[in-house]
A and B are shown apart, each in its own frame.
Chain A
Amino acid sequence: MRPEIWGIDLVDVFFRGTHALMAAAWLLFDFLVYWLHFDVKNPEIPLERRLERARIMHGIDQVVGVIFLVMLPSGIILAYVTNTALFTTEWLNWKHLLFAVIIIDALYLIPISGTALRNLNAIRDGAGNVDELNHQIRHNMNRAMPAVFLIWVLVFGLSVLSLLNLKNPQDQEYFFRQTAAEQQSVLQD
């Protein structure tokens, strides 16, 4: 017996909510990082401002990283809570495959991330090869862009897959799903 308030299964709603909020936060923070990167890679902007942006970007990137890594265990728990077979549910298999592509994408991005902050710190400390360091920042960030865009598309795809296939909690309805009673009446008409 799970705890309930007004017929709402709290465990179910908690894990669904956490998983959905994590996906939303992932995209939101990723957009913030994308917005910040324009200033970081621009050598025309004062160094102190670039460094400040790079530090913020690095911090947000760490949050994104944690969300990304916790997404898999939270999804596994959610499947358990909602009685969804983990390896034999067709839509979930597709979702796992898209997530696996994101993992590969992230493994590609890891060596690139962190270069900006390191190079900007070197420039502040008086490195001689400023142009080369700036070029490396710009080059690496531009190289990362297709992988970043791919992650956005895949996260969006994962969200749509979930919305179209998730199970209704018992006795609860969502606006985008027909309930069994409505489906029955449509069939009878």
Chain B
Amino acid sequence: MWMVWLLWLTVVVGGIFMGSGYAMALLDSGFDLVLALNAIVYLGCSAYGMPRLYALIFKRSA
């Protein structure tokens, strides 16, 4: 079970950290394809993981 927690925490927290970092770099330095792809993919992974992490937290505490 701890693996599932580790997985979704890393995907969500890591995704937000990396995605927002790349989004800010994109705003600072103008458009760059690699920066944009990184921002999209990391924020996308984070968005994908959020409902799973949410379910994990509330199913556990219920």
Say yes or no: A93 contacts B38, CB within 8 Å: yes
Residues of A within 8 A of B14 (CB): 72-73
Q: Given that A93-B35, A94-B34 are known contacts, is A69 also in contact with B6, CB under 8 Å in the complex?
A: yes
User: B61 interface residue, CB < 8 Å from A?
Assistant: no
Q: Given that A86-B21, A93-B34, A94-B34 are known contacts, is A104 also in contact with B45, CB under 8 Å in the complex?
A: yes
Query: In the assembled complex, how far is the CB of residue B11 from the closest CB belonging to chain A, in whole angstroms?
Result: 7
A101 to B38, CA, bound (A): 10
Nearest B residue to A93 by beta-carbon distance? B34
- The residue in A65, A88, A100, A104 that gathers the most chain B C-beta atoms within 10 A of its C-beta is A100
Say yes or no: B41 contacts A100, CB within 8 Å: yes
Query: In the assembled complex, how far is the CB of residue B3 from the closest CB belonging to chain A, in whole angstroms?
Result: 6
Query: In the assembled complex, how far is the CB of residue B36 from the closest CB belonging to chain A, in whole angstroms?
Result: 10
Considering only residues 116-163 of chain A, those with a C-beta below 8 Å from chain B are: none
Q: Given that A96-B38, A104-B41 are known contacts, is A65 also in contact with B24, CB under 8 Å in the complex?
A: no
Residues of A within 8 A of B7 (CB): 65, 69, 110
Say yes or no: A103 contacts B45, CB within 8 Å: yes
Q: Given that A104-B41, A107-B48 are known contacts, is A97 also in contact with B21, CB under 8 Å in the complex?
A: no
Tell me the count of chain B residues lying within 8 A, CB to CB, of chain A. Answer: 21
Residues of B within 8 A of A88 (CB): 25, 29
Residues of A within 8 A of B6 (CB): 65-66, 69
A65 to B10, CA, bound (A): 11
Nearest B residue to A61 by beta-carbon distance? B3
Nearest B residue to A96 by beta-carbon distance? B38
Considering only residues 82-111 of chain A, those with a C-beta below 8 Å from chain B are: 86-88, 90, 93-94, 96-97, 100-101, 103-104, 107, 110
24 contacts between A and B (CB under 8 A): A62-B3, A65-B3, A65-B6, A69-B6, A69-B10, A72-B14, A73-B14, A76-B17, A86-B21, A87-B21, A87-B25, A88-B29, A93-B34, A96-B38, A97-B34, A100-B37, A100-B41, A103-B41, A103-B45, A104-B41, A104-B45, A107-B11, A107-B45, A107-B48
Closest 4 CB pairs of A and B: A87-B25, A100-B41, A69-B10, A93-B34
